[in-house]
Amino acid sequence: MSKAVVHPQDRKGLRLKIYSRYALVILSEGAVCAVSAAKAVTATLSRKSLVVSYFIGAALFNGIASAAEINRPDLPPPAQVERALDEHLLVLNANSGLKMEQANQRKWNSGNYEFNLRAGTAQRNISNTGQHLKEWDVALERPLRLFNKVGIDENIGATGVAHAEYALGDARHEASRTLLKLWFNWQREQSQSTLWQHQITILQQQSQMVETRVRAGDAPKLELNQALAASAQTGVSWHQAQMRAQLAKTELMRQFPAVQLPDSFTITAPQAIEQDFSYWKSRMLDDNHELGMAQAQNHLQQLLAQRSRADQVPDPTVGIRHANEMGGNEKVTGVYISVPLSFGQRSAMAENLAQQAAMTADQAAFVQRRLENDSYATHLQAVKTYETWQQAHAAATAIRSNAELVAKAYRLGESSLSDSLTAQRFALESSLSESIAQLDANEARYRLLLDAHQLWVFDEAPAK
């Protein structure tokens, strides 16, 4: 694939991306680098040089870190996005699921067995002597997990928590995708409404010019009717565009009330996708939440199957018993053990869980193949929408230039009103197509960055 030409605006975006990557590296390894640098500088520089180097390094670090936090003008502010994701229903449910799994982990670690207190009383009647002797006994018992089962249970609890953490990350990622989609839907409809409104202004000015020429006798009244009809028809389309923009805004605010929509926004120029597919594929599949969920679920089922196989050897119950018999003349204290005897149920349950583990392994492999296909589609869409925007931009520029020439020719009396209105209609249609193509290219590129975990770092599940 040929490498696209980098325009000045693209170079600016490229520099910001490079600075952002450097900042992420420095932020992740800042502590280690700071200690190492301090030792090296202290050994080689004087106290005065050390102070100067400190301020220079701090200024450089702050500058790079600030570059990583630069707000993209065509996206919501990062602080609003983070709050909107935290308040989304998917994320709230995933947070509750994580807390539930943490409670389950404590349950797996402690086990299901508890101490059992048994007590009883009886009366012994001796027929020969006619004695009535009271007797009682008490016992304290508890099933004991075998040692190998304790380790398996701890792994099951930890794997359940890992699965919930992946689920939380996936929920934040899906919420981010939804926010990105609704945000660009609103931008598309709003930009369409703005272009229709701009077209109304142009046609109203043209109608005024035609009315002036009709009064002066330089144009027939038919041209005035044509100009007014074109302006009225454009007004209908504008009102329809306003309605669609309002609906898109309402849907966005309903799902993400923390995002404050600006009164006006700027559509930035799309940037070319420079790296090849293998680079983006590795970024999208590394630490993928959905794939991590499938693999964690498979691991969990394997552990449950392993636990069921280990449970084919039943856990013994150990107890201590004290009895008071013969009216207190005999006191008995002892220890006992009991073991349940199974006749096929435990082996059948182990086989059941083994088959479930095989099913989840197949599901994990299927998820990985699907994600590979999705990564290819996401990358291809980002590349092709950029190329489409380039073509739409070139076509719209030429058509708008032609419309200006036809309008100028009409003002000079060298062209008809029908030619001018037709040229204006073509210019509007090309501008609408260019605007959609531009926003599609930006959305596709941001979707690629989002799936590659390079857009919003807080779409990840927080470390627990």
Instruction: Give yes or no for residue 32 having a pLDDT over 80.
Output: no
pLDDT of residue 33: 35
Confidence class of residue 337 from pLDDT cuts 50, 70 and 90? very high
8 Å CB contact between 207 and 231: yes
Report, as an integer, the average pLDDT of 242-247: 94
Instruction: Give yes or no for residue 39 having a pLDDT over 90.
Output: no
DSSP 47: H
Report, as an integer, the average pLDDT of 321-346: 86
SS3 state at 352: helix
Provide CB contacts within 8 A for 5, sequence distance 6+. Answer: none
The residue ranking higher by pLDDT, 223 or 65, is 223
Q: Rounded distance, CA 13 to CA 10, Å? A: 5
SS3 state at 335: strand
pLDDT of residue 92: 95
Return the closest-CA partner of residue 436 out of 271, 273, 267, 236.
267
pLDDT of residue 231: 84
Name residue, tokens 């670690």.
109
Q: pTM of the predicted model, to two decimals? A: 0.75
Return the closest-CA partner of residue 186 out of 262, 238, 239, 85.
262
Instruction: Give yes or no for residue 342 having a pLDDT over 50.
Output: yes
The residue ranking higher by pLDDT, 155 or 224, is 155
Reported as type and span, the H/E element at residue 121 is strand 116-126
Instruction: Give yes or no for residue 65 having a pLDDT over 70.
Output: no
Provide CB contacts within 8 A for 17, sequence distance 6+. Answer: none
* Phi and psi at residue 192, to the nearest 5°: -65, -40
pLDDT of residue 458: 64
Q: Rounded distance, CA 429 to CA 47, Å? A: 68
| pLDDT tens readout for residues 90-148 | 999 999 999 999 999 999 998 888 899 999 988 888 878 777 888 899 999 999 998 89
Q: What is the mean pLDDT of the chain?
A: 81
Q: Rounded distance, CA 163 to CA 300, Å? A: 8
Residue 98 Ramachandran class (φ > 0 left, ψ -120 to 50 alpha, else beta): alpha
Sheet holding 317-325, edge to edge: 116-126, 131-143, 317-325, 330-338
Q: Rounded distance, CA 293 to CA 104, Å? A: 17
Q: Rounded distance, CA 402 to CA 423, Å? A: 7
SS3 state at 334: strand
Instruction: Give yes or no for residue 279 having a pLDDT over 70.
Output: yes
CA atoms within 13 A on the CB side of 296: 20
Residue 111 Ramachandran class (φ > 0 left, ψ -120 to 50 alpha, else beta): left
Domain locations in the chain? 1-70, 80-112+155-311+353-459
Helices 47-68 and 30-44: angle between axes, nearest 10 degrees: 160
DSSP 462: P
Provide CB contacts within 8 A for 60, sequence distance 6+. Answer: none
Residues β-bridged to residue 319: 141, 336
**Can you identify the CATH homologous superfamily of domain 80-112+155-311+353-459?**
Outer membrane efflux proteins (OEP) (1.20.1600.10)
| pLDDT tens readout for residues 321-333 | 999 887 777 888 9
pLDDT of residue 435: 92
Q: Report CA 21 to chain centroid distance, whole Å.
A: 20
8 Å CB contact between 149 and 315: yes
* Residues of the chain above pLDDT 70, percent: 83
Instruction: Give yes or no for residue 373 having a pLDDT over 80.
Output: yes
SS3 state at 402: helix
DSSP H helices, 111-220, are 147-215
